[in-house]
């Protein structure tokens, strides 16, 4: 797996790109505004094909460039089809989404579909600006990131963990083979996502953190904001949450 990240936007959202170097397939995670130029430039430079756009939850600072990145992927797919048709004298079939987490029905041929948990789907269709300093364009999810689902592309396999608390549909993505947990706004270094925004719940967050405390301590945690950490580094306070059933105060 190749992993690249950049913090973008007014509250420094971590945007991630994961790629399988053999298949040259990639996914983009939490495409915040303004990440389009970075995502598209990186993919073109490396010759990677974008297969999926993943939102770990539906807050504006994680989904703002979903529609723009998807539109770019659609243009890239169209250009590739034109090139193949011109070289072969025929029309090539568009590639399908590289995810088994749900159906890609509803996305245009060749474009990267957008994935989110069903409980946060409406946040993408009808974004709430909250404290956003700019307009957040709506985007249309076509893949459900349900509990126990898998996101597969190339040789990479990510397990979907439903971890509500920050929003009803917050998820983490776990790669056991690569020792990675993409935790969205559920788990940060030394902290956790806010529960005082619409859709937040102290009780659900405590339960989600308790679940993460049981994961392999060697996992590297890639959060939605802030620095990378590990389960080992967070285990002491995570186990306190698990034992008490409450968030630390």
| Digit-coded pLDDT (tens) for 92-110 | 223 333 345 543 444 566 8
- Tell which CATH architecture fits domain 2-244: 4-Layer Sandwich (3.60)
Entry pTM:
0.90
In the chain, where does DSSP find H-type helix? Answer: 36-46, 60-63, 66-88, 121-125, 202-213, 231-244
Distance CA 86, CA 244 (A): 64
| Digit-coded pLDDT (tens) for 163-208 | 999 999 999 999 999 999 999 999 999 999 999 999 999 999 999 9
Distance CA 159, CA 181 (A): 9
């Amino acid at each position: 797996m190749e992993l690249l990240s950049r913090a973008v936007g007014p509250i420094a959202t971590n945007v991630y790109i994961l790629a399988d170097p053999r298949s040259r397939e990639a996914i983009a995670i939490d495409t915040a505004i303004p990440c389009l130029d970075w995502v598209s430039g990186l993919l073109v430079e490396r010759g990677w094909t974008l297969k999926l756009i993943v939102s770990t939850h539906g807050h504006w600072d994680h989904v703002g460039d979903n529609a723009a990145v998807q539109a770019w992927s659609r243009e890239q797919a169209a250009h590739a089809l034109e090139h193949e048709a011109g070289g072969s004298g025929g029309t090539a079939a568009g590639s399908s989404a590289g995810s088994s987490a749900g159906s890609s029905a509803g996305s245009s041929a060749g474009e990267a579909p957008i994935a989110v948990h069903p409980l946060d789907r409406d946040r993408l269709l009808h974004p709430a600006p909250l404290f956003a300093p700019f307009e957040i364009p709506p985007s249309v999810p076509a893949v459900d990131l349900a509990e126990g689902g898998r996101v597969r592309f190339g040789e990479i396999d990510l397990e979907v963990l439903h971890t509500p608390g920050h929003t009803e549909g917050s998820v983490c993505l776990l790669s056991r083979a690569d020792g990675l947990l993409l935790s969205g706004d559920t788990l940060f270094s030394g902290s956790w996502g806010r529960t005082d925004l619409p859709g937040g719940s102290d009780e659900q967050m405590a339960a989600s953190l308790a679940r993460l405390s049981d994961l392999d301590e060697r996992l590297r945690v890639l959060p939605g904001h802030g620095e990378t950490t590990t389960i080992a580094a967070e285990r002491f306070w995570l186990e306190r949450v698990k034992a008490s059933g409450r968030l630390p105060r």
